Structure 1
């Protein structure tokens, strides 16, 4: 089908055939993943929306697409307002919209493999108020009309060495077994792909930018496990790596296996496991314990090997970024560069730097006004030239076997305006305030978020995204449970206590619609803080990302002496870590960029 209008018509016809009066289309897969394989890109296929978070509802006469503040501009560029109304989350939820728009007695379909049980409960209650009902579909109606839908990846699993993981899979499973016994549980369901990859020390290439493999797992209280993955994906190296303690099954047999757990006490994560898993367990007569997946917290708290590997990956990644920024400083003023040529060149430098397996997400390469689109992705249709006397924002990262990186730099091409320098410096001041924060153990990210916004707030400014997300170890670039975001945020994890060993981003920003965007992002590690005379355990952040800030954008008069000292110390560390990897013109350029303020 050539047009999105045709696709919407085809879906409505299928809904009519299925005796449904509407259908909910989330952007996720059977694992509640943020980034999904091409076979699961149903929202993008139906609407044209290419963001990483969103959902849609289709009714017979109207349709709506739901996105958060990161995609306010992008969704209007990619999704035709003639056919779709734009809804902002969390101001409007799908359940509330359905309650207002569904007809009395309507049958609204949903795929139980693509929603949490909590979402189903809320949506069902909202529809009941209208005399309407939520109906689980045996087959997703989009799949019925998506003629050229890709097959799930058949790529082989990859062994992740224990030396990089820092702990064997058997030891991780034994820790889980001990936890299960303490909880009085017999088994735990692992359905989140990064939890499975971490637990079994395996990786894959089934999802763009996230090195995971399509699979499900059940870990038992004796440390053994059942792993459900297509047999064609498992080589002898993986079988030997997994050992006798892991029983292999076809992924397609997972649902029927759940039916054998009757009488068992089974942990399933209400945030990460889909409604269909809960329904299968309850239908089998299992005692379902709604608790967090036992891989989530130990995965988030990095061990010494993971931290060491990350720092090595960061050093290589920093050198690649510096080579790119030097190249940009020479080429951009000539006026011939555009967003796509720039992002391609950055990827080239990363590949030259060694052992890059993938980007950690689609590079955000935003020139001028496109930099104000928070999760912008350049395409042939939107590709802008990088103009002189403008700002260029580049948010990018790499997946390396020893670590996952994520860094944003904003650079002036030509001469920036005084307003640009003011806004950049306010963002920098907030970045420094968070980077240098000292806080008691038990502090949540939601309690720190204001530190990063305070200097923007003082000028009546703000930004519509979180300040920090967790980061995986050669895994998801957005990893829970920890997060730094505002109170009342719809994003999970804002109330998670920060613990030593957790990695997060520090990324305040400012976006002037139609003109420019600014973001400064480094990754940080939560570490113990040595506070003389402290009466309780204190924590702070160690910065992990090393690449120069743009001195042309820093208004030194707005910085305190302590802030100037921080910038100068940071740039000295950039030189210590990155300079030994460079020579010639890139090295000379880096030294000039890192000159003391």
Structure 2
């Protein structure tokens, strides 16, 4: 079926069940950002492949809401579908709830799959549309009725993430969780988000592309805990190790029945943003709503994790040095396309010990493709890369020691003044954030201006956030911290690892983004409080031929030269003479 035919088929089912509007999110039952194939429902229904977006279908209209990272991509992929693109965050664009309030009659029936819609989203829907007298119908997964040969649940092996990598036993983590439960006077804690489950119990899997996670729920009691997973894909040895810490295994689908069995007199701690509606409604006990304690706990990396992340950066830096050497040697001599680059990146990384795959689908955008912040190469869009223009490469890897995420924009030939200016302004922003010194309690939104100020002075800007948390052999996007303009209460704390990635995009021409990962550290205590700073832990050179040196301040120039010296000293012992000499030239002082 075409997308238009799928929408019409869904409308027929909506008519049968008297549903006026049906909402399809990008999530799975665990409120994940990246989902197993079975739950790529919004993508299948709309044809839009971005990782973020919500599709809303009424009997007469359809709309898709997504953010600025995907505006250009969505415009292209929605053509001919009959689905209107709503650009979130732009002037005059209604939210999906505002749009629904205008489109729906009084007392409408609004449907969605209750396993893929959070309790928080449901509450917001009711609050925003309460005046209409809405009725929620969450029991129907209508897409399942029209999706022929829908993928099955993944069934991959679950394995132990050993303490030599995690730096902390699962027992120790459970004790910290139970302390938070005690503070909230809770007998149980429900955990539905896969990264939280994986971190707490030191388990990993491969049920979702790029994220080393296993499909699982967990219920933590004051003395024992239950993991709801597929027992067929976990070894007896790991089951025994879990049992030693009073962690027991139950079938994945058993979660709903077991939640119903929790006594009504008990209190259950849960995160309504990370709990699907069906789970929420299965709990008859008192519910205490808090962010999962593990969100903050896992964001603060321990010494073993920090050392592991630094080792992962070194491995990644070696792989990228080999890759960029190969690219420079072969461009203009052999046909190289965006797909070629993607495959070569993975190949060079795969030679490194403990490589476990990419941390996300590589973004390789040549020339105007780079203007799509989250561009995804397809067979139809793949283009040859030549010795001219700008090439944006955003990529990352998963190693047992840690997760990497890095962006470099490469001048493939001589750049004009405008290209060099934009290249330098973005680099200035990245460096300014990397050099930040700030008092304890500072939030990411307080620092975001540092990355944008050079661009703002020239009347330029970018639409995405500047930084996101990064997990340790975990999700490449992790909270609760972020660096962006939107206000978020979470302060940056020592041990947090965050991306530093300002950008600039000229639609139809090119995109520029520079990205390193930065570790928040305690710098000094003064009579005015404790002050923090960032240590840049990514190890990869920048192409200095794209820089207008005069636009850099003396401090920025010193930072770049010092960084390049650090890159060379860290990577050169791992390289042969040919690559050493090449990297030495790339990292020489400017």
With structure 2 as the length reference, what TM-score do the two structures score? 0.97
2:164: which partner in 1?
163
The answer (yes or no) to whether the contact 2:111–2:140 under 8 Å persists in 1 is no
Displacement after TM superposition at 1:105 (Å): 3.6
User: Does 2:446 match 1:474?
Assistant: no
* Rounded Cα–Cα distance in structure 2 between residues aligned with 1:414 and 1:537: 46
The correspondence for 2:578, drawn from 563, 575, 585, is 585
* Rounded Cα–Cα distance in structure 2 between residues aligned with 1:437 and 1:306: 23
* Rounded Cα–Cα distance in structure 1 between residues aligned with 2:476 and 2:486: 23
The answer (yes or no) to whether the contact 1:268–1:291 under 8 Å persists in 2 is yes
Where does 1:106-505 land on structure 2 (aligned, <5 Å)?
Answer: 106-131=108-133, 133-222=134-223, 224-244=224-244, 245-261=246-262, 262-281=264-283, 284=284, 286-334=285-333, 336-487=335-486, 494-505=488-499
Q: Secondary structure at the match of 1:155?
A: coil
1:47: which partner in 2?
46
The answer (yes or no) to whether the contact 1:94–1:123 under 8 Å persists in 2 is no
The answer (yes or no) to whether the contact 2:445–2:486 under 8 Å persists in 1 is yes
CA displacement, residues 152-192 of structure 1 (integer Å, 9 cap, x when unaligned): 11112111001111111111111211221122111111111
User: Does 2:544 match 1:543?
Assistant: no
Q: Secondary structure at the match of 2:521?
A: strand
Q: Secondary structure at the match of 1:353?
A: coil
Q: Secondary structure at the match of 1:181?
A: helix
The answer (yes or no) to whether the contact 1:159–1:241 under 8 Å persists in 2 is no
* Rounded Cα–Cα distance in structure 2 between residues aligned with 1:466 and 1:64: 24
The answer (yes or no) to whether the contact 1:335–1:387 under 8 Å persists in 2 is no
State which drifts further: 94-103 or 202-211. Answer: 94-103
User: Does 2:503 match 1:509?
Assistant: yes
Q: Secondary structure at the match of 1:530?
A: strand
Q: Secondary structure at the match of 1:358?
A: strand
Moved over 6 A (4+): none
* Rounded Cα–Cα distance in structure 1 between residues aligned with 2:30 and 2:296: 18
In the alignment, structure 2 segments of 5+ residues that lack a partner are none
The answer (yes or no) to whether the contact 1:62–1:84 under 8 Å persists in 2 is yes
Displacement after TM superposition at 1:81 (Å): 4.9
The answer (yes or no) to whether the contact 1:467–1:506 under 8 Å persists in 2 is yes
State which drifts further: 75-84 or 32-41. Answer: 75-84
* Rounded Cα–Cα distance in structure 1 between residues aligned with 2:410 and 2:236: 48
Where does 1:541-580 land on structure 2 (aligned, <5 Å)?
Answer: 541-580=534-573
* Rounded Cα–Cα distance in structure 1 between residues aligned with 2:105 and 2:364: 43
The correspondence for 1:96, drawn from 95, 98, 115, is 98
With structure 1 as the length reference, what TM-score do the two structures score? 0.96
* Rounded Cα–Cα distance in structure 2 between residues aligned with 1:403 and 1:95: 39
The answer (yes or no) to whether the contact 1:528–1:540 under 8 Å persists in 2 is yes
* Rounded Cα–Cα distance in structure 2 between residues aligned with 1:117 and 1:341: 43
Displacement after TM superposition at 1:279 (Å): 1.7
CA displacement, residues 35-72 of structure 1 (integer Å, 9 cap, x when unaligned): 00001100111111111110100111110011011111
* Rounded Cα–Cα distance in structure 2 between residues aligned with 1:411 and 1:379: 21
Q: Secondary structure at the match of 1:129?
A: helix
The answer (yes or no) to whether the contact 1:192–1:273 under 8 Å persists in 2 is yes
* Rounded Cα–Cα distance in structure 2 between residues aligned with 1:204 and 1:227: 14
* Rounded Cα–Cα distance in structure 2 between residues aligned with 1:516 and 1:230: 46
**Length, aligned pairs only:** 585
* Rounded Cα–Cα distance in structure 1 between residues aligned with 2:24 and 2:240: 40
The answer (yes or no) to whether the contact 1:500–1:527 under 8 Å persists in 2 is yes
* Rounded Cα–Cα distance in structure 2 between residues aligned with 1:540 and 1:470: 16
* Rounded Cα–Cα distance in structure 2 between residues aligned with 1:276 and 1:540: 43
* Rounded Cα–Cα distance in structure 2 between residues aligned with 1:156 and 1:429: 45
State which drifts further: 440-449 or 236-245. Answer: 236-245
The answer (yes or no) to whether the contact 2:208–2:214 under 8 Å persists in 1 is yes
The answer (yes or no) to whether the contact 1:367–1:387 under 8 Å persists in 2 is no
Q: Cα distance 1:534–1:340, how it changes in 2: closer, same or farther (>3 A)?
A: farther
